[in-house]
Copies of this chain bind each other. A is one copy, B any other.
Amino acid sequence: MDSDGFTTGGDAYPDGPAADDSFQIRSVAVLGLGLIGGSVARDLATRGVRVLAWDRDEHAVRDAEVRGIARPLAWNDPHPADPPIDVVLLALPVLAEKELLPRVADRFPRARLITDAGSTQRSVVALAERLGIGARFVGSHPLAGDHRSGWAASRTGLFAHARVFLSPAPSAGPDAMGLAEALWTALGGRTEPVDAAEHDRRVAWTSHLPQLVSSALGGSLAGEGIARAELGPGGRDTTRLAGSSPALWTDVALDNADEIVPALRAAEDRLRALRLAIAAGGAERVRGLLDEARRWHHQAP
């Protein structure tokens, strides 16, 4: 990463990649203290960053305050926190994020980076441009999801070695992009820039499709009255994602519908092909379908 434009942040990050004085994030507003936002807040607090937090669940905010992780964000304070917030992180389901973004644009006019932790990027990046904050907006998508969710599931170290996709708004400047890279790198992530549209196409297949297939399988078993405890280790792995947050994934699915629908259709087609081949006793066809999946599974990364 180019460290141009970075000033020293002192020695608050003794063991991170930022220990070379190139890190300058001193204060972060975290909106949403769920698994992702809560874990970011915990990591940043450990590193000495001043964290202001908001969540619609006041208990989470109070707990974060009691633990010395964050102070409550005073939305209605006419004199915003001093020193000003460097980075605003919206760690909310995508529809809630889009509802909140206009207010964030008003409230943090001097924040140098506004970012998120979303599973989809196109619609958010487009909204940021429309709100006139594109120059300071970089969408983030850390691949650190979990079927557990909420503040109680958040923890330090969640982003160690995690891939983090960064989708800058078209007008985003190098300062915002550099801060986004610095933020996630300091948390242990490995950032990868990717255009928002390409991001959404790719994650429809790599993330959203497995999630929805796992949920469809879980729903099928629920409909048949088969308990998850009856499954072997393989079946439990295949249905692990079915435990994910329905609210979160409903937002993702609707926000990325145009990319997800063809992916779901492809999975249906494969299931149907397997079913028809099995019903017809077509051993070669069944083996061919299974073999294609196995070769895919075994291919070198």
Residues on A lying within 8 angstroms of B by beta carbon are 143, 145-147, 163, 202, 205-207, 209-224, 226-232, 234-235, 237-247, 249-250, 253-254, 257, 260-261, 263-272, 274-275, 278-279, 281, 283, 286-287, 289-299, 301
Select one of B143, B239, B264, B293 contacting A218, CB under 8 A.
B293
Q: How far is the CB of A142 from chain B (nearest CB, A)?
A: 10
Q: For the complex formed, measure the closest distance between the CB of A226 and the CB atoms of chain B, giving whole angstroms.
A: 5
Q: Which of B212, B222, B238, B298 contacts A295 (CB 8 A)?
A: B222
Query: Closest chain B residue to A224 by CB distance?
Result: B205
- CA separation between A163 and B230, bound complex, in Å? 10
Min CB–CB distance A50 → chain B (angstroms): 31
Q: What's the Cα separation between A207 and B230 when bound, in Å?
A: 9
- Name the prevailing secondary structure of the A interface residues: helix
Taking a contact as CB atoms under 8 Å apart, the answer to whether A213 and B271 are in contact is: yes
Distance A295 CA – B239 CA, assembled complex (angstroms): 12
Measured between alpha carbons, how far is A194 from B247 in the docked complex, in Å? 40
| B227 and A210 contacting across the interface, CB-CB below 8 Å | no
The answer to whether A237 and B240 have CB atoms under 8 Å apart is: yes
Give which listed residue, B202, B219, B291, contacts A293 with CB less than 8 A.
B219
Given contacts A238-B240, A291-B246, contact A232 B297 (CB under 8 A): no
Question: Are B247 and A212 in contact, with the CB atoms below 8 A?
Answer: no
- Interface contacts beyond A220-B269, A264-B275: sample of 13 additional A-B pairs, CB < 8 Å, sorted by A: A147-B297, A216-B289, A218-B294, A219-B289, A220-B270, A223-B266, A228-B299, A237-B237, A237-B240, A237-B241, A261-B275, A264-B274, A265-B275
Partner of A219, one of B227, B278, B296: B296
- Return chain B residues, CB-CB under 8 Å to A219: 270, 289, 292-293, 296
Distance A243 CA – B244 CA, assembled complex (angstroms): 24
B278 and A257 within 8 A (CB): yes
Cβ contact of A287, chosen from B211, B246, B297, cutoff 8 A? B246
Instruction: Please determine whether B215 and A274 come into contact, CB atoms closer than 8 angstroms.
Output: yes
A-B contact pairs, 6 of them (CB 8 A): A145-B232, A214-B238, A216-B274, A240-B297, A253-B274, A260-B278
The answer, among B216, B243, B263, for a CB contact under 8 Å with A270, is B216
- A145 shortest CB reach to chain B, Å: 7
B275 touching A227, Cβ below 8 Å: no
Task: Give Cα A294 to B246, complex, Å.
Answer: 7
A187 to B281 alpha-carbon distance, docked (Å): 36
* Closest Cβ–Cβ distance, residue A236 to chain B (whole Å): 9
Let me know if A272 and B268 touch, CB within 8 A: yes
A205's nearest neighbour on chain B, judged by CB, is B226
CA distance A252 to B5 in the complex (A): 62
Chain B residues, CB < 8 A from A263: 220, 224
| Residues of the B chain whose Cβ atoms lie less than 8 Å from the Cβ of A241 | 234, 237-238
Contact A206 B235 (CB under 8 A): yes
* A218 to B213 Cα, complex, angstroms: 11
